[in-house]
Amino acid sequence: MARKVEDLEDQSKYRELLKISYDELIDFVLDYIRRRSEVMIFFWLICAIFLFNAITVRINITGYFPLKNIMSHSFLGLILFPVLLIPIHEIIHIITYLLLGARRIRFGMDLRQYMFYVTAHRYVTGKRSFIVVALAPFITVSVILVFLILLLPGLWKWSLSILLFVHATMCAGDFALMNFYYLNRGKKIYTWDDFDKKISYFYEEI
């Protein structure tokens, strides 16, 4: 049976573990991406692999294409494509939430923190469901980009290889939240968001 926010307010069964204002999200992310764990080792390893792949592609195309063409594709991979990918990334979060049964889904952004986010207003999410939501864009986009890099010719391999790396770094917030769950893996944690108050709540089952 799906839990409701009111269920978590039963202090005989649950206790509030953490409350994060959306204004403090960047501090939370920076804190948890610095905390060493298997989750973050995996994240940084994947980023390193994607970066190495991009450098390898760049070396391999040297001398085959005019520098201006290489620079234009560098712009595509570093700036234009990542900007265009932001709504796609968030839509994947939305679709995943919908598949899990959430309905009051909200999208927001905080340009001061360079953050974009999707939340399910007053929808209680357990650990497994939360990890599915967090990982969905990373896995989906990475798989598609790897396929395109293998399929498309020279300069497109370069721009998409950069995009593969940049998008991975864009997933740092998702991995920071997963790291929070991992570092508290001995606890049964549930989370919900109050979008109106711009606060995320995390509760532990007693």
Mean pLDDT of 161-180: 97
Region 156-175: mean pLDDT is 97
In the predicted structure, residue 63 carries a pLDDT above the cut 90? no
Residue 71 has pLDDT above 80, yes or no: yes
Query: Residue 2: which pLDDT band, with cuts at 50, 70 and 90?
Result: confident
Residues 191 and 18: beta-carbon distance below 8 Å: no
pLDDT digits (tens, 9 = 90+) for 106-159: 999 888 778 899 999 999 999 999 999 999 999 999 999 999 999 998 899 999
Is 53:157 a contact under the CB 8 Å cutoff? no
Residue 62 has pLDDT above 90, yes or no: no
Evaluate whether 189 touches 2 at the Cβ level (below 8 Å). no
| pLDDT more than 70, % of the chain | 100
How high is the pLDDT of residue 45?
A: 98
Beta bridge partners of 189: 204
Among candidate residues 154, 139, 167, the one with its CA nearest the CA of residue 81? 167
HSE-up of 200 (CA within 13 Å, CB side)? 18
Would you call 187 helix, strand, or coil by DSSP?
coil
As to burial, measured by CB atoms within 10 angstroms (0-12 exposed, 13-18 middle, 19+ buried), residue 182 is middle
Mean pLDDT of the chain: 95
Residue closest to 37 by CA, chosen among 180, 205, 200, 194: 180
Task: Calculate mean pLDDT across residues 47-52.
Answer: 98
* CA 6/CA 116 separation, integer angstroms: 28
pLDDT at 106: 94
- Across residues 162-180, what is the average pLDDT? 97
In b/e form, how buried is each residue of 86-115, taking b as 16+ CB within 10 angstroms? eeebbebbbbbbeebebeebeeeeeeebee
Angle between helices 154-170 and 38-61 (to 10 degrees): 160
The per-residue pLDDT for 1 is 61
Look at residue 111 in the predicted model and tell me its pLDDT: 81
pLDDT digits (tens, 9 = 90+) for 78-115: 999 999 999 999 999 999 999 999 999 999 988 877 88
